Each structure stands twice: as structure tokens, then as C-alpha cells.
A and B are shown apart, each in its own frame.
Chain A
Amino acid sequence: MTPLESYFPLAVVFALALVLGLALVGLAALLGPRRPSRVKEAPFECGSDPVGDARGRFGVKFYVIALLFVVFDIEAVFIYPWAVQVRELGWNGFATMAVFAATLVAGLAYVWKKGALDWE
């Protein structure tokens, strides 16, 4: 048995998903009634009337905040499993996590002092 053969069930799932998706969309297009009106043709924007172009530009400030969020998000991802196992990991684990946290604190100090956290 080649390594790829064990993936055969996965291929079946993919094929089934593709067929099912195409079939549902195709049947709806073939059988469904079609009465277009002005309101129905307009792009759907959470119920409110569409205003302006969707390809507007966002303030670069949002990206900075998003980036910082990712950093602390990842920190949480690492700290939770560590906190659960903290007794088993002992001082060795504590030292490792301390180095990791210290690096992040240094980064936070830099960002803070640089003024990236000031919204105005």
C-alpha cells in the first residue's frame, strides 16, 4: 500500500462535498423561480442601504492594533497550556516562560514608548 492509498476516504469526502455543493447550487438555479427586482439586485450590506465603494481605505492605525492583538493572542495560546502544567514543568518551565514573557514585555515597552498605543 503506497502512502497515498490511505488518503482514499479523504478523497471520497472531497468529491462528495464538491458534488453536493454543485448539485444544490445547480438545482436552485434550474428549478427556483426568478423574479428580480431593484431591491433584490442590490448588494446586501447588513440590511442598510449600500453607501459608497466597498474598497475604501482603512486607517493604518487599525493594522497596528490588529498586529499587537495577534502578539498577545499568541502569548495567551502559549501561557494557558503552561499554566495548566506549571507544577509538572517546575522551575525549568518557569524560566522558559519568563524569558518568553520578558521578550514580550520588552516589545510592549517599545511599542508603548514609541506611541503606537495612542489613538489620536
Chain B
Amino acid sequence: MPTVSSQDVLALAPVAILALGGIALLLSEVFLTSGKRGYQAFLTVLFAATAGLTAFGATPGKVFAGQATADAFSAFVTITVSFGLALAALVSASWLDARGAERGEFYALSLFAASGMSLLGMASDLLVAFVAIEIMSLSTYALAAWMRRGKKPAEAAFKYFILGAFSSALLLYGTSLVFGATGSTLLSDVARGPLQAGGSALLSAGLVLVAAGLAFKVAAVPFHVWTPDVYEGAPTPVTAFMAAGVKTAAFAILARTVLAAYAATGGAADSAFPRVLAVLALLTMLVGNLFAVPQRSVKRMLAYSSIAHAGYLLLGVLAAGLPAVRERALSGVLFYLASYTASAIGAFAVVGALESNGQPGDEPADAWDLERLAGLSRRRPLLAFAMTVFMLSLAGVPPTAGFVAKLLVFQAAVGAQYLALAVVGVLTSALGAYYYLRVVVYMYMRPAAEGEPAGVTSPVLSVALAVAVAAVVVLGIGSEPVASLARAAAAVVR
């Protein structure tokens, strides 16, 4: 029986801190009943910061006989997730406060979700990954239902739960088949391939099911149908956290799994597994961008844009299959995730600040319509500027973070000889610029509608937006420190 060493416990410290934070906030809700809840968001930020710092200083090594791995890769994921959690908590504070729905449980659930995400970044065993995914998902299902009296949130939460449970079942079934073929759920053993000569079909079936389950979580086409409804219906700060955090964590485990799958199935670029992934990436880039174009609702447009970004990220994961460009591709993916976290949370924060404060259960149908942004540059110039920065970053225009991220991923794809896919990526990005810049056009060139409310203002929201803008610009102009961190993180994954 393997014994527990202090190394095992220390390596899991970031996960433990986030979980502890969740428990602390749960108890704060019932034991500190002062009615003032402003401290809860700050407490969440504090726990997120501590977890991020702990991950930064953690000693790398295997945890519990290789079931999880604490390395630079997992540290990067944890830091990105913690950053996203802190930003989302600040955004949530003002959004929930304006609706009288701020409770400790909200932050507790966010922290629990983040602990699952952090664990997912470490997982190097399919069963540990499953447990981490469930911790993450169950918390986000509940968060999606936070405004439960509304019709749309209820629909979103129910859809998310049913389809999420289904995808978890696929993942688990795939894991059982992989176990049957390789005799282990450890990714390092899976990478060695099937135990017996005839087991490769079983292994492929299992790996495809596992990949399908993960594709569900990252919202890759054709497993994306839930995304627009869930992202639109969930409370806006929750959507921000889901889009950034779940994507980061799910791509982390997807990258580790795909690398093991490549090794197990021979690793040739023309074998079945890379081809499946290439089709997924192609479809995701095309469908995400094409369906985002006709959307009038900014929130729904951002949901489709999230699908499109999953496509670019898949392209990076695909390129990582080739050992020669693996490091470049994975570091590109990691940088992309960090940049997407800042841009997406910022964009959703602006959308959340502007949406109408309607009664639960009868929200106006046009709560997130483009018209709401019309003339924003006159009403609230700073908010319009922040939104412009986020839109430019999502579109991939220099000098923002999104540009550098896309550049790194497409470079890796070209390096791995996926020329056609890289071209599709560039073309669909150009298409994306249309619907992102349309938002900017509405803000700066359309007159405001009569009686349009100015939206929520609060110091916390301003701080969150300022941090997000700063992150997007700094990652865009001085990308080297983070890019080198990402390279160091990518170098340790094999």
C-alpha cells in the first residue's frame, strides 16, 4: 500500500486552499450574519491569490504514485484559474449586490469549482480527472441556477446539468474501455498502448469516448449545442467564470490525454486519432464563427465566440501531437488560455454591467441586445474603452493579448504542417473581427436610445475591469514573461 508523504500533501496545497476557502465562506454565511457581505468577495480574492502563490512556489513531483502531477504545467493552470476566479469574484460582487442576491454560498461554490479546476490541471490519471471534473461541474451547475426564479437561468441550469451528466457518463465509459485495453487508468500507462495485440480497437474506442466527453466540456463542435443557451441563461458573472475557468481546466486535461493517446496509437500524424481531432478543430472554428455573426444578443455572440476560441485551442492541441513542435504548441495553448481568461471575463463583466435589472422571471427579451451598447462611448467612455480592448483581444488585433495568443497557436500549427487548418483559422479570425468590431461600432458610432439606463457602477467592478484591461494589454505588449512561463510549463509535459 502506498504511504502518504508530505510531498503528496504539499503538492495538493493549492487545491486544499481553494477547498478550505469554500468551507470558510460557507461558514461565514451562517455565522457572520451582519447583513453586510462586501467582505466575501475580498475573502475569495484572498484565497484565490494564496492558491495561485502556493502553486507558483510548489515543488514539482508526482503525487500519490503518479495519479496527479504537480509541475510547471499544473502551476500555470492553477494560476490562470485563480486569476480568473479572483476577477470573476469581483465582477460577481457588484452584479449580485445590484440584485440583492449576494450570498456566501455563491463564492463557496466558485471556490469549490476552482479547486476542481486546479486538481484537473494536475490530474494524470483518468479517474482522478473524472473526480476533478465532477467537483468542477457540480459546482458550476449550481452556480448556473443561482438566479433560480428566472425562466432562462432555470432552463440553462437544467440543460447544463443533463448534458453535463451525459458527457461525464461518456467519459467514464471511455475510461472503463481504456482500462480494459491497457490494464490501467494512469495516463503514463495508457501511453504505452494496449496490453495485447488485439486491444487496439478497444483502446481507440475508449480514447474516442474520453475525448468526446472532454470535447463536451470545452464546447467543441459537434458537442457544443448546450453552450449558447447555457452561457446566455446563466447569471453573467457565472458565465464569465465558466467560459474562462472550465475551458482552461478542460483543455489542460485534454492536452495531457491527447498526448497519451498519440503515444498509445503510434503517434503517426496520419493515424486515426489526430484526424478526428483535426475534424473537430475545423468544425469548431467554422461553426463557432459562422453562428456568431447573426447574433443580436451580445451575450449569445460571446457564447459562440467561446466555441470559436475552443476551435483555435484545439488546433494548438492537435499541433502538440508532433514532438518537434510540442513545446511551442502547448505553450501557445497555455498562453491562449491565460489571454482568453482576461478578455472573456472582462467582456462578460461589461455585458453584466449593462444588462437590465429586471424582475426575476420576466427579464426583457432584449436584455443583452446590441442596442444596449449604442452610444456607450458618450454615456460611459471608460466602460466603452474597456469593452473595445476586450473585443480587439478576442478578435486578435495587435497589440492585445489575443493577437499574441493566436500568433503562437497558428505558428505552431504551421510548424506541424497543418497548413490548411492554419489558413482556415486565420480566415475565420478575420470573419470574427466583423462581429467583434460591430460591438465597437455600436458603442462609438450609434446614438444612444432614449432613456437607456447607465448600468451598474461600483468601485469593485472598476477595479476588476482595470485589472482585466491591464492584463490584456500587458500580455499583448510585454508578453515575454508570461510566454516564457508558458514555455517552461509546456516543456515538462510529455
Chain A residues proximal to chain B, CB less than 8 Å: 1-4, 92, 96, 103, 106-107, 109-110, 113-114
Contact = CB atoms under 8 A, between A and B. Distances in A.
A3 B181 contact: yes
A2 B26 CA distance: 52
A3 B196 contact: yes
A106 B198 contact: no
Interface in B229-250: none
State the majority secondary structure of interface residues on A: helix
A107 to B, nearest CB: 8
Contacts of B3: 92
Given A92-B3, A92-B4, A103-B23, A3 B30 contact: no
Contacts of A96: 4
Given A113-B30, A114-B30, A2 B198 contact: yes
Contacts of A114: 30
A113 B27 CA distance: 9
Given A92-B3, A92-B4, A113-B31, A3 B26 contact: no
Nearest to B202: A3
B60 interface: no
A113 B180 CA distance: 47
A92 to B, nearest CB: 6
B452 to A, nearest CB: 40
Interface residues of B, number: 15
A1 B199 CA distance: 10
B198 A1 contact: yes
Given A103-B23, A106-B23, 15 more contacts: A1-B196, A1-B198, A2-B198, A3-B180, A3-B181, A3-B196, A3-B198, A3-B199, A3-B202, A4-B202, A106-B27, A107-B26, A110-B26, A110-B27, A110-B30
Contacts of B202: 2-4
A96 B31 CA distance: 26
Interface of B: 3-4, 23, 26-27, 29-31, 180-181, 195-196, 198-199, 202
Contacts of A3: 180-181, 195-196, 198-199, 202
A2 B202 CA distance: 9
15 contacts: A1-B198, A2-B196, A2-B199, A3-B181, A3-B202, A4-B202, A92-B3, A96-B4, A106-B23, A106-B26, A107-B23, A107-B26, A109-B30, A110-B29, A113-B31
Contacts of A113: 30-31
A71 to B, nearest CB: 14
Contacts of A107: 23, 26
Contacts of A110: 26-27, 29-30
A43 B30 CA distance: 47
Contacts of B29: 110
Contacts of B23: 103, 106-107
A96 B181 CA distance: 33
A28 B241 CA distance: 59
A113 B26 CA distance: 11
B109 to A, nearest CB: 13
B103 to A, nearest CB: 11
A17 B180 CA distance: 25
A114 B31 CA distance: 9
Contacts of A109: 27, 30
A115 B4 CA distance: 38
Nearest to A115: B30
Contacts of B26: 106-107, 110
B142 to A, nearest CB: 12
A2 B23 CA distance: 49
A110 B108 CA distance: 12
A113 B31 CA distance: 8
Q: Which A-B residue pairs are the 4 nearest by beta carbons?
A: A2-B198, A113-B30, A110-B26, A106-B23
Nearest to A92: B4
Contacts of A4: 202
A73 to B, nearest CB: 18
Contacts of A106: 23, 26-27
Contacts of B199: 2-3
A5 to B, nearest CB: 9
A87 B198 CA distance: 45
A103 B23 CA distance: 8
A89 B362 CA distance: 57
A68 to B, nearest CB: 15
A9 to B, nearest CB: 16
Contacts of B198: 1-3
Nearest to A106: B23
Nearest to A2: B198
Nearest to A7: B180
Contacts of B31: 113
Interface centre among B26, B195, B202 (most CB of A within 10 A): B26
B59 to A, nearest CB: 20
B32 to A, nearest CB: 11
Contacts of A103: 23
A4 B181 CA distance: 10
Nearest to A99: B16
A103 B29 CA distance: 16
A27 B245 CA distance: 58
Nearest to B181: A3
